[in-house]
Amino acid sequence: MPTDVAALREWFIAGGSPPEAPVQHVEYVAELVGVRLLNPAQRATTLRLLADLPGITVTGTVTDRASRAGEAFSITSSAHGLPAQYTVIIDTESGALLGYEEMLTTTAGMLNVTIPAVITYRSYLVAEYAPLPG
């Protein structure tokens, strides 16, 4: 995995189309952290990529769904249809991603939910190397 922001952007879309909206990079990072253990340099690169996104804002200090404190960064987009706020929660000491949420903010369209409504969330609880099978 690249440790340069421009190379990371290219790596995310290898063999595919460029993202149509900045929010897709937030989704890429959330998916990546769910399948790969990032070393400090890789975490720093993903944080720089997120910081460079147009429209991303600091939401503030929050407590995630596992009762851990972190700093929240959000971007609002209707790229997937309904207006939604996409938030990542970062551990301020390690730079690790603690959580990801997608929340409908103004309308639910045809969905039978009350606004605001969290429609997706992920909590990243353990990220460590496992021993090779013997």
What's the pLDDT at 6?
93
Integer CA distances (angstroms), 35 to 61, 113, 127, in order? 26, 30, 9
Instruction: Residue 98: name the closest of 32, 23, 47, 33 by CA.
Output: 33
Tens digits of per-residue pLDDT, 46-81?
999 999 999 999 999 999 999 999 999 999 999 988
Mean pLDDT computed over every residue of the chain: 92
pLDDT band with cut points at 50, 70 and 90 for residue 124: very high
Across 75-97, average pLDDT = 94
Does 134 score more than 80 pLDDT? Answer: no
Global pTM?
0.88
Tens digits of per-residue pLDDT, 111-121?
889 999 999 99
* Alpha-carbon span 77 to 54, nearest angstrom: 11
